[in-house]
Amino acid sequence: MNLYTDTPLASAIFELFEKFNEQLVIHLSENQSNGAVTAFIFGGCAIHLLTNVRGSDDVDIEVSSAERLDTHSLILEVDDVYYTDPVEGDKVISLDDTFNVGLPTLHPDYKERVIPLSTGDTVLHVYLVSAIDIAISKLERCQADDVTDIVALYKKGYFTVEEFEQLAVEASGYSINPEKLRLNISHVIIECEKS
């Protein structure tokens, strides 16, 4: 898998997670094990790391902790990262403390397909949600930019139409509006096949 991890935005994303890890180390007891906190990257930053097509001004993450920990407050303590985009110039990126993994429809097994970005001797382990699961997460809203993102993932060869349809239909069973989601699936498949 060819991830785009050496772009200015990708470097800024990794710097943000280093700062988050530093905050976790400060706030956790010394006997905390490595990997006590996990972060899963969604949204525009996931699209960037997978395709280099676009970026975002914030990193949408789902955070889970092995112990009771107010990760929301810790995210607020993580300073923004400033970087220079080769096209747009000076930019800033932050961790999104408002992202809610309950809003998009997700396949229940998405964590089985995540891509590790940082593991080892850190409290925070960071994972990139797989391309097919990012695509599925964009079906609920399914605005023009969401469809463009899904098509970009498809064109990079991360999944076939058949794979996408199978997992997306399975995920629709967990949606509050499965009929709408299935219409969106059909629309996206047509767009992928036209691309």
When pLDDT is averaged across residues 128-136 and rounded to a whole number, the result is 97
Number of domains in the chain: 1
Is 119 within the bounds of a domain? yes
Return contacts of 107-113, CB within 8 angstroms, 24+ apart.
107/133, 107/136, 107/167, 107/168, 107/170, 107/171, 107/174, 108/171, 108/174, 110/136, 111/40
User: How many helices (H) and strands (E) are present in the chain, helices listed first?
Assistant: 7, 6
Is 81 within the bounds of a domain? yes
Is 54 within the bounds of a domain? yes
pLDDT tens-digit readout, 59-105: 999 988 876 677 778 888 899 999 999 888 999 999 987 888 777 88
The residue segments making up the domain with residue 118 are 8-194
Is 3 within the bounds of a domain? no
Is 1 within the bounds of a domain? no
Taking CA atoms, 91 is separated from 8, 67, 80, 117, 135, in Å, by: 10, 34, 10, 23, 26
Is 50 within the bounds of a domain? yes
pLDDT tens-digit readout, 94-131: 998 788 877 788 999 999 999 999 867 888 999 999 99
Is 120 within the bounds of a domain? yes
Question: What is the rounded CA–CA span in Å between residue 145 and residue 165?
Answer: 19
Is 78 within the bounds of a domain? yes
